[in-house]
């Protein structure tokens, strides 16, 4: 039998070359042992990123079960174990087998659908994240005055499973393949748990539920593409983008047009995708008067650009540039655990950690926060304030752990760090450890400059 990677590559190339191609005989790939090996390898990669919540089973112990699963697949008798609530246990082989088969289904569906997802879709896709969506807003939505923000809350529970299967049937003519996926849906795997933000984005992307969300809402993306090309909107710039169940539409036009677009979206979602959205789910905002929260950022418009000459008299001033900002309340909330009475404070719950783990944890918190808000105009000011309290909380936690003073901790663990430009040094708390390759390295607190990035970087730098 062919290797799984070869088959997936062929499926992807066929999907890319012919968007109307109908895929048949996909189910037979479940008879190929290499698909199980390939799926297991991908799960192992994720185990290294997020050890909890996934089965911790050895490959040798699972190999005999693959043959049994393949026999059941050929006979059409495989049924996933029902999930009536969020289940993250991995004690039972059957639960693990289900995850393995779901990974195979995900890989096949991604090969077929990823080539045809539109550029306006950013959530849970390769080389795309919230930063690529926000970068698009900043570069493509200049001069925006009206913004329509929508959120399909609890999208996993609100999707019509029968409609989802019928949407898949447009591209997949394989009853056994669709029936297997439908068995997982009926068993509760589509609605088990929520979209967690506590795991890496790459980990969440490799979850079949979020791929199915993108397939379902691809219909909305297509509708909005046609809407933006309509005669009514041709005279008025309109930019639409979506991140999973959240979407944003930036308009350089009047409120009447914004209301018309909102009504059209509500009608389409209700009639075509069976999703009812109220006024609270889709809101219209005048950007010059009020900012909009989207994907964790605050989107605002600069002050309108004044008229340049007396000849412009009677013309409306152009709207200002889009600004991406760090919401003030987010930073206040982030600082709260590390401050007391206006001063940095130690964290008792972290004293038990080893010194390398303690420094690494603080480092990762700061690094992840910066990577999330690196496109913001005020990232230096807002995160600089957080870093001050956060860093000195680390120093005080070490002092409390070692029953020492802050000064002694600084004298003992202060490490000279070279500047980013190669000039000068600054002291940061650091500790030497032995790496896996036998070489010695120093773990320090996050010391990179908090500068605004002009371009997104979907692949974040590795931790120290």
pLDDT in tens, 329-341: 999 999 999 999 9
| Domain regions of the chain by residue span | 4-118+156-202, 328-444
Q: Which of 217, 208, 222 is nearest to 109 (CA)?
A: 208
Predicted pLDDT of residue 274: 96
Q: Which of 3, 80, 58 is nearest to 34 (CA)?
A: 3
User: Which H or E element spans position 320?
Assistant: none
Predicted pLDDT of residue 439: 80
- The token pair that represents 263 in the structure block: 């009504």
The tens digit of pLDDT for each residue in 123-149 reads 999 889 999 999 999 999 888 889 999
Predicted pLDDT of residue 195: 44
User: SS3 for 210?
Assistant: helix
Q: Which of 447, 427, 430 is nearest to 367 (CA)?
A: 447
**Residues near 385 by Cβ (< 8 Å), separated by ≥ 6?**
331, 335
Q: Which of 163, 120, 172 is nearest to 14 (CA)?
A: 172
State the Cα–Cα distance between residues 27 and 76, nearest whole angstrom. Answer: 10
Q: At what angle do helices 4-17 and 93-113 cross, to 10 degrees?
A: 30
DSSP 118-177: -TTB-TT-TT--HHHHHHHHHHH-TT--EEEEEE-TTHHHHS-HHHHHHHHHTTB--HHH
The model carries a pTM of 0.86
Predicted pLDDT of residue 428: 86
State the Cα–Cα distance between residues 266 and 244, nearest whole angstrom. Answer: 17
State the Cα–Cα distance between residues 234 and 119, nearest whole angstrom. Answer: 19
Which positions of the chain have pLDDT values less than 50? 51-57, 86-93, 194-203, 231, 307, 310, 312-318, 458-464
Per residue, what are the HEC states of 260-301?
Answer: HHHHHHHHHHHHHCCCCCCCCCEEEEECCCCCEEECCEEEEE
Total Cβ atoms within 10 A of residue 338: 23
Predicted pLDDT of residue 118: 96
Predicted pLDDT of residue 135: 95
Residue indicated by tokens 């304030």? 385
State the Cα–Cα distance between residues 15 and 4, nearest whole angstrom. Answer: 17
Helix runs in 187-254, H state only = 201-205, 208-228, 231-234
Between β-strands 297-301 and 282-286, what pairing exists: parallel, antiparallel or unpaired? unpaired
DSSP 349-368: GGTTS-HHHHHHHHHHHHHH
User: Which H or E element spans position 428?
Assistant: strand 425-434
Name beta bridge partners: 416. Answer: 427
């Amino acid at each position: 039998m062919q290797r799984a990677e070869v088959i997936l590559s062929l499926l992807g190339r066929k999907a890319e070359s012919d968007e109307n191609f109908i895929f048949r005989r996909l189910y037979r790939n479940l008879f190929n042992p290499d698909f199980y090996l390939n799926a297991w390898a991908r799960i192992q990669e994720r185990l290294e990123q997020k050890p909890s919540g996934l089965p911790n089973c050895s490959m040798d112990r699972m190999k005999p079960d693959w043959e049994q699963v393949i026999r059941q697949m050929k006979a059409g008798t495989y049924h996933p174990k029902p999930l009536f609530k969020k289940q993250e246990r991995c004690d039972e082989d059957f639960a693990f087998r289900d995850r393995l088969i779901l990974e195979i289904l995900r890989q096949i569906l991604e090969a077929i659908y990823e080539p045809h997802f539109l550029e306006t879709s950013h959530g849970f896709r390769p080389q795309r994240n919230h930063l690529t969506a926000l970068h698009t807003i900043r570069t493509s939505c200049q001069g925006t005055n009206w913004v329509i923000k929508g959120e399909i809350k609890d999208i996993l529970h609100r999707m019509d499973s029968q409609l989802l299967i019928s949407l898949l049937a447009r591209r997949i003519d394989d009853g056994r393949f669709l029936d297997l996926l439908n068995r997982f849906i009926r068993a509760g795997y589509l609605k088990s748990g929520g979209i967690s933000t506590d795991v890496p984005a790459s980990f969440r992307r490799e979850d079949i539920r979020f791929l199915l969300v993108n397939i379902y809402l691809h219909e909305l993306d297509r509708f909005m593409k046609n809407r933006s090309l309509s005669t009514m909107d041709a005279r008025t710039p309109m930019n639409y983008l979506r991140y999973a169940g959240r979407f944003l539409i930036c308009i350089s036009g009047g409120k009447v047009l914004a209301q018309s677009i909102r009504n059209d979206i509500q009608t389409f979602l209700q009639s075509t995708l069976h999703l009812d959205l109220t006024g609270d789910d889709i809101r219209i905002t005048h950007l010059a008067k009020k900012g909009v929260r989207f994907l964790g950022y605050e989107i605002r418009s600069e002050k309108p650009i004044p008229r340049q000459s007396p000849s412009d008299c009677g013309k409306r001033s152009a709207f200002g540039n889009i600004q991406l900002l760090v919401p003030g309340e987010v930073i206040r909330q982030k600082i709260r655990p590390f401050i007391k009475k206006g001063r940095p404070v130690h964290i008792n719950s972290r004293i038990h950690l080893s010194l390398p783990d303690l420094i690494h944890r603080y480092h990762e918190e700061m690094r992840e926060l910066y990577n999330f808000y690196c496109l913001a105009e005020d990232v230096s000011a807002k995160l600089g304030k957080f870093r001050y309290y956060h860093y000195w909380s680390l120093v005080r936690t070490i002092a409390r752990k070692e029953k020492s003073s802050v000064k002694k901790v600084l004298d003992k663990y202060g490490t000279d760090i070279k500047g980013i430009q190669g000039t000068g040094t600054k002291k940061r708390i650091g500790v030497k450890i032995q790496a896996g390759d036998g070489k010695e390295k120093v773990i320090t607190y996050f010391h990179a400059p908090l500068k605004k990035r002009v371009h997104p970087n979907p692949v974040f730098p590795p931790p120290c």
